[in-house]
Structure 1
Amino acid sequence: MKTFLFRSMIGIFFGAFLAVAITNCAVYFGGQELLDGETFLKNSLGSIFCGWFFTVSPLYFELKNLRLSQQTALHFMTVTILYFSLSFWIGWIPLHLKSILFFSGMFLTTYAIIWLSFYFYFKNIAKKLNQDLENI
């Protein structure tokens, strides 16, 4: 529970930071001097919620009673359902077949790259730990 609360706070703060950074970029680089309050609020809350569930959902990988394939499937389903539901509701992804396919492809590619990066990173750490244990 302590880990869940800590990760929740980190995710919420990171999501809020991203919302502010993106808004500042829109104002500074986009030349947008006036912001719509309702749109800002909706996008900020969406960013905060995304930050939260993307930092809390990896807790699946700490459940030792599940195989890696089960952990990955649960994590993938959770983030996919939450992200796409939020994206469609807020309007980050337009409800057109071409947009849905494009963003689905981007999401799958990004998910696969991140998952493989973490997999090989931890596999490398396990290999080094095993080598150190053999040298003892």
Structure 2
Amino acid sequence: MKIFLFRSMIGIFFGAFIAVIFTNVFVLFSGKELLDSQMFLRNSLGSIFCGWFFTVSALYFENPNLRLSQQTLLHFVTVIILYFIFALGIGWVPFDLTSFFIAIATFLIFYAIIWTSFYLYFRRQMKKLNEELELL
């Protein structure tokens, strides 16, 4: 439970940080001096919630009772369902078929890149630790 709460706080803070960064970039480059408060609130809360569930859902990878394929499948299904519920509801992805398929393809590409990066990083770490253990 302590890990869940810690990850929750990290995810909430990261989501809020991303919301602030995107808002500042929008204000700087759009030339608008006023923001729609309802849209700002909706986008900020969406970013905070996405930060939370992406961070917390990674706990699947810490469950030793599951194989990597099961962990990945559970994580993928969790984040894609939650993300698209919010992305469509908030308006990040327009509600039409073409936009939806483009968003799915973009999501899959980013998911594959991030998953592969983490896999290669932890594989390298494991190899390094095993080499150090052999020296003992």
TM-score (norm 2): 0.97
Aligned partners of 1:74 and 1:25: how far apart in 2? 34
1:58 and 2:78 are equivalent in the alignment = no
Q: Residue 82 of structure 2 corresponds to which residue in structure 1?
A: 82
1:13-24 pair list within 5 angstroms: 13-24=13-24
Aligned partners of 1:16 and 1:125: how far apart in 2? 30
Once the two structures are aligned, what percentage of the paired residues are identical?
Answer: 65
Q: Residue 128 of structure 1 corresponds to which residue in structure 2?
A: 128
- Cα displacement (A) at 1:29: 1.0
Aligned partners of 1:130 and 1:26: how far apart in 2? 47
Provide, for residues 54-90 of structure 1, a one-character-per-residue CA deviation record: whole Å limited to 9, x for no partner: 1111000000000000000000000000000000000
RMSD, aligned α-carbons:
0.8
One-letter code of the match for 1:57?
A: S
- Cα displacement (A) at 1:41: 0.7
One-letter code of the match for 2:16?
A: A
- Cα displacement (A) at 1:46: 0.2
One-letter code of the match for 1:24?
A: N
Aligned partners of 2:14 and 2:117: how far apart in 1? 21
Q: Which moved more, 1:86-95 or 1:117-126?
A: 117-126
Over 4 Å off, 4+ runs? none
Provide, for residues 14-68 of structure 1, a one-character-per-residue CA deviation record: whole Å limited to 9, x for no partner: 1111111111111111111111111111001000001101111100000000000
Unaligned runs of at least 5 residues, structure 2:
none
Number of equivalences: 136
1:71 and 2:71 are equivalent in the alignment = yes
Aligned partners of 1:20 and 1:134: how far apart in 2? 47
Q: Which moved more, 1:65-74 or 1:122-131?
A: 122-131
Q: Which moved more, 1:64-73 or 1:29-38?
A: 29-38
Aligned partners of 1:15 and 1:47: how far apart in 2? 5
Unaligned runs of at least 5 residues, structure 1:
none
1:117 and 2:95 are equivalent in the alignment = no
